[in-house]
Amino acid sequence: GAVVSQHPSWVICKSGTSVKIECRSLDFQATTMFWYRQFPKQSLMLMATSNEGSKATYEQGVEKDKFLINHASLTLSTLTVTSAHPEDSSFYICSAPVPGRLVEQYFGPGTRLTVT
């Protein structure tokens, strides 16, 4: 069964509004989670590393004021796309390290965001 969940799985919003995406680790704790973005026909690109109890670390070129990340508990990280625009439409995927396993990650099923 799924060990990392995302909610919602699909969302449509109007340009200028904000959207929050949740990523939850099920039955295990994750002090770190990762957020990826996947464009159609393209690879996953790491956007940021979410750290429980501290600020997220953003990859170069990712606007931290636009993609707000909050990791308020050991099982939940949220990504808020603020003032969304059509170019933010994408597939957002989160992941969490597998406990006790070097390097491996559990991936969530992804959230499809469409901004109209």
Sign of CA dihedral 96, 100, 104, 109: negative
Tell me which DSSP letter residue 87 carries. G
- Looking only at the bridges linking them, the beta strands covering 10-13 and 67-73 are unpaired
Q: Least CB distance from residue 16 to other proteins, whole Å?
A: 29
DSSP 52-80: TTS--EEPTT--TTTEEEEEEETTEEEEE
**5 vs 82, beta carbon nearer other proteins:** 5
**82 vs 112, beta carbon nearer other proteins:** 112
Q: Least CB distance from residue 108 to other proteins, whole Å?
A: 5
Q: Least CB distance from residue 2 to other proteins, whole Å?
A: 7
Residue 79 structure tokens: 């990504």
**Residue ranges that bind other proteins, judged by CB under 8 A:** 2, 4, 9, 32, 34, 41-46, 49, 93, 95, 97, 102-110
**86 vs 102, beta carbon nearer other proteins:** 102
**Whole-number Å distance between alpha carbons of 21 and 69:** 10
**65 vs 103, beta carbon nearer other proteins:** 103
